[in-house]
Amino acid sequence: ILSSQPEENPHWWNANMVFIPYCSSDVWSGASSKSEKNEYAFMGALIIQEVIKELVGKGLSTAKVLLLAGSSAGGTGVLLNVDRVAEQLEEMGYQGIQVRGLADSGWFLDNKQYRRTDCIDTITCAPTEAIRRGIRYWNGIVPERCKLQFKEGEEWNCFFGYKIYPTLRCPVFVVQWLFDEAQLTVDNVHLTGQPVQEGQWLYIQNLGRELRNTLKDVTASFAPACLSHEIITRNHWTDIQVKGTSLPRALHCWDRSLHESNKNGKAPLKGCPIHLIDSCPWPHCNPSCPTIRDQFTGQEMNVIQFLMHMGFDVQKMAQQQGLEPSKLLGMLSSGN
C-alpha cells in the first residue's frame, strides 16, 4: 500500500504517503513522558498529534481525505486514534478533510486462551492482562466515546476492535485474517511443526467462528480464512481474494461508496462489495491464501500437506461433513 507503482498499488499509488515508524511500544496510545519515576517514555498518541500538526504545513491543509492506516499494533492504533485525528483537524479549522481508518491485523479478541499461563512476558500474557498492565505504564489514552461505555479502570476494553468500533464516528475499513498468527500466539496455540492435537484444532476453528462473528456488523471488512499476520505492507496484498474480490478492489469500492454517500446517501454500489468475510471453516480453505512454508524446512506446502501437517484427519472430517474422503480432498484442493 506504500508503493508508488500502479501495478503494486492500483488505487492509491499516487497518494501522498507518510510512514510513521512504531517506536513507542504502546499501541499508539501512550502519553507518558520520561521522568525520575519512569525511565521510559511512551508517547504514541502524542507522536501522531505532532505528525498531523507538522503535515498541515506541508500540504495536508488542502487534502480532501486523510487515511490513517496501520498493521498489527498499528491497526489497533488506527482504531484508538482515528476519531482523535478528525477532532484535532476540526479544532485546527480543517473541517473539510474527511478522516478515515484502515486497520490491518489489529482486531484482536479478548478470548479465553487455549492454555492459561502466568503473565511473565508479552508472549505468555493473556491479551486482556497485557493491555491492563500496559495501559498503566503508558498512561494510555482511549477515545472519550469508548471510555464512557466502561467503568473507570476498565478502559482496556477499548483496545479490542469489536468493543471500540461501535463508538467510532469516522469510517473504518477492517482487514483481518480469520486465523491471525499473533492472536494464536497470545492464545498459546504454538504451531511448532508437531501435529496439532484435536483440542487445538477445534480451538483454531472456533477462533475463526468467533472472529467472523465480531465482524458481522462491520460495514467495510475483508477477512480471508488464512493463517497469517499483516497484509497491507506485503507484496502479495493484491493476490488475496475473498469471494472473488481482491483487497485493493474492495478498498476502491469503499472509497467510491464514501464519495457517493457524501453526495446523496445512496445504498452500497452494485457489483462493488465492501463486506467480504470468508465462510469456509478452517485455515487456508481459501485458495488465494499466501503460501505456507514449513517452519523448520522452509519448504512450501499445498493446502492438503498443510492440513495433514496440522494433524487434520481426512477420514474423520469427511465423515463429519457426510462426504467421501476423496470428494473432501478434491474440495480442499480447489478451495471450495
DSSP secondary structure letters along 145-211: HHHTTS-TT-GGGGGSHHHHGGG--S-EEEE--TEEHHHHHHTT----SSPPPHHHHHHHHHHHHHH
The residue annotated as part of the active site, out of 26, 83, 104, 180, is 180
Q: Residue 316: is it exposed, middle or buried by C-beta count within 10 angstroms (0-12/13-18/19+)?
A: exposed
Q: Is 61 a catalytic residue?
A: no
The residue annotated as part of the active site, out of 26, 83, 229, 275, is 229
The residue annotated as part of the active site, out of 24, 32, 72, 105, is 72
Cell of 157: 476494553
Strands 98-104 and 65-71: parallel
DSSP secondary structure letters along 252-281: HHHHHHHHHHHHH-PPPPTT---EEE----
Q: Which residue has the cell 465492501?
A: 274
Evaluate whether 204 touches 196 at the Cβ level (below 8 Å).
yes
| 292: three-class secondary structure by DSSP | strand
Q: Is 261 a catalytic residue?
A: no
Q: Is 11 a catalytic residue?
A: no
Strands 300-301 and 292-293: antiparallel
Q: Please name the helix (run of DSSP H) or strand (run of DSSP E) that holds residue 227, with its range, or none.
A: strand 227-228
Q: Which residues does the annotation mark as catalytic? A: 72, 180, 229
